[in-house]
Structure 1
Amino acid sequence: MSYKQWNDLKSAAVIGSGVMGAAIAAHLANAGIECHLFDIVPQTLTDQERLNGGSLEHPAVRNRLSMQAIERLKKTKPSPLYMEAFAKRIHPGNLEDDLKKLEKVDWIIEAVTERLDIKQQVFARIEPFIKAGTLISSNTSGISLNAIAEGRQDMFKQSFVGIHFFNPPRYMHLVEVIPTSYAKSEAVQRAVQYCERRLGKGVVLAKDTPNFIGNRIATHGIVTVLQEMERTGLSIEEVDAVTGPAMGRPKSATFRTLDLVGLDTFSHVVNNLADHAPEEERSLFVLPAWYHSLLERGAYGEKSGQGFYKKLGKGKIAAMRTDSMNYEERASVQSPTLDAAKRAKGTKEKLKALLQGRDAYGQFAWNILKPSLLYSASQLGIIAEKIEDIDNAMKWGFNWQLGPFETWDAIGVRTSVEKMQQEGETIPSFVLQMLEAGHESFYKQEGSKRFYISNGEYRGIDSVPEHISLKQLKSEGKVIMNNAGASLIDLGDEVACLEFHSPNNAIGEDILSMIVRGAAEVENNYRGLVIANEGRHFCVGANLMLLLAEAQAEEWDEIDEIIRQFQQSMLKLKQLAKPVVAAPHQMTLGGGVEACLPADVILFSPETYFGLVETGVGLIPAGGGCKEAVLQQSQRFTHREDDLTPPMLRTFETIAMATASTSGHDTERIGYKRSQDRVLNDARRRIFEAKQQVLAMDQAGFRSRYDPLMRVAGREGRAAMSVAIHSMKEAGYISAHDALIASKLAYVLAGGDAPSGALVTEQCMLDLEREAFLSLCGEKKTQQRMEHMLRTGKPLRN
């Protein structure tokens, strides 16, 4: 049997165009894969089709379901597509006319209704059209893969695996790959590589057991919470206060998560486990009576308008009371234990603070954490072979900060086991054997190598060379220089990395200072520089709190100096005689964008939300953002006779409206992506890829393209921008203060009072930026916008 390499994947087919099937097809399209999307042939015409004189034999009717699914993808929010244009890579079809197309695809993914009989019928239908070497998979959240494969030929079975995408596929990192007892190792490995390397997913290997890894552990944990809540009488708000960030879990905690998932959907998952789990486990999967009462009332959560929570309007939210089954306005929860957990730094310390609490909340946390840890340990070898796969499934699929075994390490395995034994709990034998052998944790670190416990001894976790860890490099003493806000780290091969690590990676004096010092170090001793970090977001912008404090104190000279320092730091990156590659990820806003634009190449992660958004707080970009935007257009339209007004008008609208990209690919649509920039498939490879880019540029004999001159749209361009501002103000789309900000932005982008097509210097553009920024800082309404953003995280329109 011939198996292609992961990068040879050219085409795929998804069977089933429902919500999940269409979203999987969208993510395949995101990765540049041509995808056929199949569904059944409709048996009746719609009213509109009858009006149009349609026929059941017409291709548009026969492909209606998949065509409608593709159109829905373009309208779904948040979008399953990186760019709407990628929908062109998805080709509609049906399961009667188009099956021969399966002969030419590299990968088939079935994603029909979660019923064993229907899945078996679909595979029986398509099996004759599948060529040898095609990877075949079923996307299921809990049906047995071996049962699905029953009745199929050996060639099919040997190429068949389960692939469980977590929903929504674009945004959720986890994919569970489930080998069958028939699958060849080459097929399993190919599935892993397709998902990891081509789709950028985190893959865990699961056993073919009910609900696999993630849903098995999560469902047990949530039902435990519901049962303990019923026993203790804690309210929904109290439970969510305990089971959210205080435990290293998402802010949605337990009940907001269930509202988002759907109470009916979760009930289906629980029932599947209750029906198929071993007899001794079935009592663990029983929902309280009041949960069923909610389902009977049609309270399914977000999709029905009410579940555990209900919006009352005017920003008010009510929570359901399980005793009366009525809604009451949500109450705030205060407790010394919760306060201590909130103040603690890092998940490990938060957990310790929570479990040390002597009130009802600390006890509740222990009473739900203990069975979760014990159950996870009892499932080792049943749902997965490695504790690492169980931990990763919970981190990647449910956004836990620590997996169950990492959590156990964090609270202390030996002391917690002793407490469990005192409370009469049965401890899984492998945990006791680990402790008896003198091993105090499930994981250990030795230098750059991490180990996990397996069969009583530690086994090394295979490191992926392409996944460079700055945290690991720092632990190995690779820091060249650092301060409170940033570090310069040696990546090896004479490449350095500038890492931000201030709160929210906001740019302040520490980071600016490190940029200047780091640039000098790289200039003298390294082949090039990578700008990247491992924060939740690359950079949310400049230190707004500092700017507001200086503005309210009317320290204009201080603000002027801050902006000058910012501009000069960015110029150091721009003028560096060594290659600079930026690798942003997630939120990259305002000053974060200005730190990337001076780079010779930008490697965007797929999920990069990139934009100069300063107008949202009443300001304009002043760290070189306006200058770089003008320079980009000047470099695209190089001839003096080129009319710069239309492209500059688009740039003006993008910045004035504080537009940010919806993905790394979307940076091209809004004008930030340059010809030399590219988007990566796998965000985990961003630092490695940036390093390789630096080395390639150096090897090619890098020469800086720095040019201090640029052509501007001038007075003519400014006039066009002013017309746009006036029209929007007259139509009521923007306020008077919006118009003031936009007018100052237009003046800067046009090059001040320069004539159309004039060449201006870089310093001239920076001076214009700084002057406009300073004047806006003095505006009371701008200060109100800054204050509102800091307080609420949302823009103020005043």
Structure 2
Amino acid sequence: MSITIRKAAVIGSGIMGSGIAAHLANVGIPTLLLDIVPKQLSAEEEKKGLTLEHPAVRSRLAASAIAKLKKTKPSPLYDDAFTSRITPGNLEDDLDKIAGVDWVIEVIVENLDAKRSLLDRIETVWKPSIIVTSNTSGISINAMAEGRSEAFRSSFMGTHFFNPPRYMKLLEVIPAEGTDPQLVQDMKQFGETVLGKGVVIAKDTPNFIANRIGTYGLLVTLQEMERGGYSVEEVDAATGPALGRPKSATFRTLDLVGLDTFIHVADNVRLNVDNEAERRVFTPPTALTQLVERGWLGEKSGQGFYLKRKGESGKSEILSIDLQTLQYTPQKKVSSGSLEAAKLAKGAKEKTKALLGAGDRYSELAWNVMKQVLVYSAEKVGEIADSIQEIDEAMKWGFNWELGPFETWDAIGLVRSVQRMESEGTAVPDWVKEWIAEGNTSFYRKENGKRFYVSSGEFRQIEEARAEIDLKALKEQNRVIKSNSGASLIDIGDGVACLEFHSPNNAIGDDILSMIQQSTEEVRRNWNGLVVANQGRNFCVGANIMILLMEAQEEEWDEIDEIISLFQQSMYKLKRLEKPVVAAPHRMTLGGGVEACMPADQIVAAAETYYGLVEVGVGLIPAGGGCKEFALRVSQQAPHPDTDLLPYLGQVFETVGQAKVSTSGHDAKRLGYFRGVDRIVPNQDHLIYEAKQAVLQMAAEGYVLPAEEKIRIAGSEGRAALQLAAMSMREGGYISDHDLLIAKKLAYVLSGGDLPAGTLVTHQYMLDLEREAFLSLTGEPKTQARMQHMLTKGRALRN
């Protein structure tokens, strides 16, 4: 990558502009946020006696947008403090400041003339080293570039972020005719490495890739709904998870997008394509336009296809609209053989096949929608993108489909599905039929752990990014060193092994603990170091509490003691391994999952890591070394014998006692879960590679296992102070009696029991305290009720 972006400017402080600025701030790029100068004073400004010439008024729009970032949910920021990296300004006073940035992103209204006018102004202060991009959702990049100098056009392209920019993985990069090809590739790499995005190169066509296919799919769904007489609930039941799509399915998605926005996106295709049949598809149905005319725009207006209101009982209820009468009625439960079959099937491929194979009316709806989307996607190869891979990735990253169109086609059987389409009179593109006629049965294939896709009538290998390690592919290449039902140890190259969890939800049970113990011995003898990572949906949701509950209900206390002892011993083996250990958590990393990371020499976490010791939520305390590790950190923060440990310990007590979970990797640092040595990686796909590099660096530097240090405890004085704080919470009605009991146990363990303050204790001493407290709490009926509630309801019980 030959570009370096140290500073950026975003022009337009609306939802998208401020969201992009926030994400640039997230990854450490200071950003100037500009907007127009207001023409009127606000009531608050008038009250303060300000004038339209006051600097605060002139930059009010950008400043207000920055202030709103901290209040927006879900947060656009990894850490609220990152707003300090965004500077507000306005286009009249501060336009010349963009001469000092490396990247300018235009994010103003979706109007070609307005964008051209702004680019004209930008070029007056532009320097050849500055990259300029437009975040348009579908306006022609070439049309925008008309009238610009050749030098400017070489540095200009589209960069279409999806909303919200922090959370949506897709970034479409759209070069114009004069854009420097090397700059396009550099921006792709920058987007992947620095911004953490999945980047596809799109062609300059209406709505580019994802919105072109996605909008088409939503519109044909509406047409099939009208043709088959389906209700809103029925359509969503058949076009959501049962089809490998998000829970928002069709109509919740439209409500989230905004019906007026959706019509605008559809019109952008309808008004800019020549094919009459395509224009008809992109003509919004009457029912949709009627809802917009009434102002029923979806979530932003409070109602759309769904309406949430208070019912007679006082509880919230969600109604759905009848598109024939435009009246809202209570939702009706939808069930059928095909939907049940899809629910029972595992994985998107099997769910899709189960839904389509059942032969009822919901199968028919799903098939009629899907076949049109598959054919349309095939027709657009070469027009909207160069490859089927880019189309598939755009739909997965931009619309959260589990399978892209061509992956779906492979899953349901390419040859068989094409035969069915043609028997029903659906015209399949010639290139697809020619591909099948040559004896091919899929668009993708695997060979020796490598993936290939069809391109120009032949299979082309998918180039794996240097910074990506695919554990599934490595396993297909027979790189498994050891394995059992819950975990595997995999050779990831250069003498580094990866311990992968793969139990249901990656919950830690005997199988994972056994593999941890085996892995530490194997790595000690034969490897340079160990990465603890996996590529499941979540890193680890904690220990298997079902087993604990069953043992507690049977009063098998010795069995529970053995389970906790094994957990502690396994984590301790990780900590005392004579080779470097790096943990690489991502997304949900809770309870025992955190305790599996804390012994590591370094944590290399994904930016989107939601990390926390949550045991109090099920009536317990951390007992796999979590309390011990926090006590050790407190001791290390205040190593002098006379230092008061309580200020440090109080923060830990609050974090663990309130089961605080980070909202990002950076937030985990703020909460004290991560240390200074720990790192955050923006792109989760690069996580295992970066963790491996950290292992190799430590090994190259001559890693020596640190001597085990004793832990200085706060003792009985610290315990009394922590328990007093908990009792005050109880007296104030903030916690229950059982919460207080748990808090007292936690305070006892974290402070090191009844020994005098400043006493140095061993790690095993602290582990014994953890285990004793944990064991006593499992015998409490209210703790067992909490565990039962979590297992059956999926949320914490406050009793």
TM-score past 0.5 threshold: yes
Please report how far the alpha carbon of residue 302 of structure 1 lies from its aligned counterpart in structure 2 after TM superposition: 1.8
Query: 1:628-667 residue pairs with structure 2 within 5 A?
Result: 628-667=629-668
1:758 equivalent in structure 2: 759
- Is it true that 1:224 corresponds to 2:225 in the alignment? no
Tell me the amino acid that sits aligned with residue 95 of structure 1: L
Query: Which of 290-299 and 120-129 deviates more?
Result: 290-299
- Among 306, 309, 312, the alignment partner of 2:306 is 309
2:614 equivalent in structure 1: 613
Please report how far the alpha carbon of residue 43 of structure 1 lies from its aligned counterpart in structure 2 after TM superposition: 2.0
Please report how far the alpha carbon of residue 549 of structure 1 lies from its aligned counterpart in structure 2 after TM superposition: 1.5
Whole-Å separation in 2 of the counterparts to 1:675 and 1:704: 18
Please report how far the alpha carbon of residue 611 of structure 1 lies from its aligned counterpart in structure 2 after TM superposition: 0.7
- Among 241, 247, 251, the alignment partner of 2:237 is 241
- Is it true that 1:93 corresponds to 2:94 in the alignment? no
Whole-Å separation in 2 of the counterparts to 1:539 and 1:774: 22
1:327 equivalent in structure 2: 328
- Is it true that 1:55 corresponds to 2:56 in the alignment? no
> Contact 2:244/2:352 (CA < 8 Å) preserved in 1?
yes
Whole-Å separation in 2 of the counterparts to 1:464 and 1:124: 37
Please report how far the alpha carbon of residue 310 of structure 1 lies from its aligned counterpart in structure 2 after TM superposition: 2.0
Partner of 1:668: helix, strand, or coil? helix
Counterparts in 2 of 1:147 and 1:320: CA distance versus 1, 3 Å? same
> Contact 1:373/1:404 (CA < 8 Å) preserved in 2?
yes
2:205 equivalent in structure 1: 209
1:27 equivalent in structure 2: 23
- Is it true that 1:290 corresponds to 2:291 in the alignment? no
Please report how far the alpha carbon of residue 190 of structure 1 lies from its aligned counterpart in structure 2 after TM superposition: 2.6
- Is it true that 1:443 corresponds to 2:444 in the alignment? yes
Query: 1:280-429 residue pairs with structure 2 within 5 A?
Result: 280=276, 281-313=278-310, 314-429=315-430
Please report how far the alpha carbon of residue 201 of structure 1 lies from its aligned counterpart in structure 2 after TM superposition: 0.6
Q: Which runs of 5+ in 2 are unaligned?
A: none
Whole-Å separation in 2 of the counterparts to 1:299 and 1:777: 51
Whole-Å separation in 2 of the counterparts to 1:642 and 1:265: 59
Whole-Å separation in 2 of the counterparts to 1:274 and 1:689: 45
Please report how far the alpha carbon of residue 438 of structure 1 lies from its aligned counterpart in structure 2 after TM superposition: 1.7
> Contact 2:450/2:473 (CA < 8 Å) preserved in 1?
no
1:539 equivalent in structure 2: 540
Please report how far the alpha carbon of residue 30 of structure 1 lies from its aligned counterpart in structure 2 after TM superposition: 0.9
Please report how far the alpha carbon of residue 290 of structure 1 lies from its aligned counterpart in structure 2 after TM superposition: 2.1
TM-score, normalised via structure 1 length: 0.98
Query: 1:636-785 residue pairs with structure 2 within 5 A?
Result: 636-707=637-708, 709-785=710-786
> Contact 2:14/2:65 (CA < 8 Å) preserved in 1?
yes
Partner of 2:419: helix, strand, or coil? helix
Please report how far the alpha carbon of residue 708 of structure 1 lies from its aligned counterpart in structure 2 after TM superposition: 5.1
Tell me the amino acid that sits aligned with residue 342 of structure 2: A
Whole-Å separation in 2 of the counterparts to 1:379 and 1:175: 19
Whole-Å separation in 1 of the counterparts to 2:144 and 2:7: 24
> Contact 2:485/2:503 (CA < 8 Å) preserved in 1?
yes
Please report how far the alpha carbon of residue 315 of structure 1 lies from its aligned counterpart in structure 2 after TM superposition: 4.6
Whole-Å separation in 2 of the counterparts to 1:670 and 1:11: 28
- Is it true that 1:45 corresponds to 2:26 in the alignment? no
Please report how far the alpha carbon of residue 706 of structure 1 lies from its aligned counterpart in structure 2 after TM superposition: 4.5
Whole-Å separation in 2 of the counterparts to 1:648 and 1:721: 9
Partner of 1:278: helix, strand, or coil? coil
Whole-Å separation in 2 of the counterparts to 1:252 and 1:553: 42
Please report how far the alpha carbon of residue 392 of structure 1 lies from its aligned counterpart in structure 2 after TM superposition: 0.3
Please report how far the alpha carbon of residue 194 of structure 1 lies from its aligned counterpart in structure 2 after TM superposition: 2.1
1:178 equivalent in structure 2: 174
Q: Deviations over 1:642-687 (max 9, x none)?
A: 1100110110000011001111111111011112111112221111
2:157 equivalent in structure 1: 161
The percent of aligned pairs where both chains have the same amino acid is 60
1:481 equivalent in structure 2: 482
- Is it true that 1:70 corresponds to 2:66 in the alignment? yes
Whole-Å separation in 2 of the counterparts to 1:297 and 1:57: 39
1:496 equivalent in structure 2: 497
- Displacement over 6 Å in runs of 4+: none
Please report how far the alpha carbon of residue 343 of structure 1 lies from its aligned counterpart in structure 2 after TM superposition: 1.3
> Contact 1:135/1:191 (CA < 8 Å) preserved in 2?
no
Partner of 1:728: helix, strand, or coil? helix
Please report how far the alpha carbon of residue 56 of structure 1 lies from its aligned counterpart in structure 2 after TM superposition: 2.1
Please report how far the alpha carbon of residue 614 of structure 1 lies from its aligned counterpart in structure 2 after TM superposition: 0.8
Aligned length: 794
Q: Deviations over 1:216-268 (max 9, x none)?
A: 10001011111101111122212111111111111111111112212222122
- Is it true that 1:142 corresponds to 2:138 in the alignment? yes
Query: Which of 437-446 and 131-140 deviates more?
Result: 437-446
Please report how far the alpha carbon of residue 277 of structure 1 lies from its aligned counterpart in structure 2 after TM superposition: 2.6
> Contact 1:574/1:706 (CA < 8 Å) preserved in 2?
no
> Contact 1:575/1:706 (CA < 8 Å) preserved in 2?
no
Whole-Å separation in 1 of the counterparts to 2:251 and 2:595: 40
Whole-Å separation in 2 of the counterparts to 1:558 and 1:298: 62
Whole-Å separation in 2 of the counterparts to 1:497 and 1:65: 49
2:2 equivalent in structure 1: 5
Please report how far the alpha carbon of residue 303 of structure 1 lies from its aligned counterpart in structure 2 after TM superposition: 2.0
Q: Deviations over 1:577-631 (max 9, x none)?
A: 1110000000101000000000000001100111101111111111111111111
- Is it true that 1:279 corresponds to 2:275 in the alignment? yes
- Among 101, 125, 128, the alignment partner of 1:129 is 125
Whole-Å separation in 2 of the counterparts to 1:355 and 1:335: 12
Please report how far the alpha carbon of residue 297 of structure 1 lies from its aligned counterpart in structure 2 after TM superposition: 2.7
Please report how far the alpha carbon of residue 761 of structure 1 lies from its aligned counterpart in structure 2 after TM superposition: 1.3
Please report how far the alpha carbon of residue 196 of structure 1 lies from its aligned counterpart in structure 2 after TM superposition: 1.3
Q: Deviations over 1:102-161 (max 9, x none)?
A: 111111100001111111111111211010121110000011111111121111111110
> Contact 1:160/1:187 (CA < 8 Å) preserved in 2?
no
Please report how far the alpha carbon of residue 784 of structure 1 lies from its aligned counterpart in structure 2 after TM superposition: 1.5
Query: Which of 144-153 and 289-298 deviates more?
Result: 289-298
Query: Which of 621-630 and 343-352 deviates more?
Result: 343-352
Tell me the amino acid that sits aligned with residue 629 of structure 1: F
Q: Deviations over 1:348-392 (max 9, x none)?
A: 111111111121111111111100100000111111111111000
Partner of 1:679: helix, strand, or coil? strand
Partner of 2:392: helix, strand, or coil? helix
Partner of 1:530: helix, strand, or coil? strand
> Contact 1:230/1:288 (CA < 8 Å) preserved in 2?
no
Whole-Å separation in 1 of the counterparts to 2:460 and 2:15: 40
Whole-Å separation in 2 of the counterparts to 1:706 and 1:610: 28
> Contact 1:357/1:363 (CA < 8 Å) preserved in 2?
no
Whole-Å separation in 2 of the counterparts to 1:467 and 1:759: 44
Tell me the amino acid that sits aligned with residue 209 of structure 1: T
2:257 equivalent in structure 1: 261
Q: Deviations over 1:434-467 (max 9, x none)?
A: 1122222111112132111111111121111210
1:188 equivalent in structure 2: 184
Partner of 1:492: helix, strand, or coil? coil
Tell me the amino acid that sits aligned with residue 62 of structure 2: S
Whole-Å separation in 2 of the counterparts to 1:533 and 1:587: 12
Tell me the amino acid that sits aligned with residue 303 of structure 1: K
Partner of 1:75: helix, strand, or coil? coil
> Contact 1:227/1:287 (CA < 8 Å) preserved in 2?
no
- Is it true that 1:525 corresponds to 2:526 in the alignment? yes
Tell me the amino acid that sits aligned with residue 134 of structure 1: I
Whole-Å separation in 1 of the counterparts to 2:707 and 2:568: 15
> Contact 1:274/1:282 (CA < 8 Å) preserved in 2?
yes
Whole-Å separation in 1 of the counterparts to 2:12 and 2:453: 39
Tell me the amino acid that sits aligned with residue 286 of structure 2: A
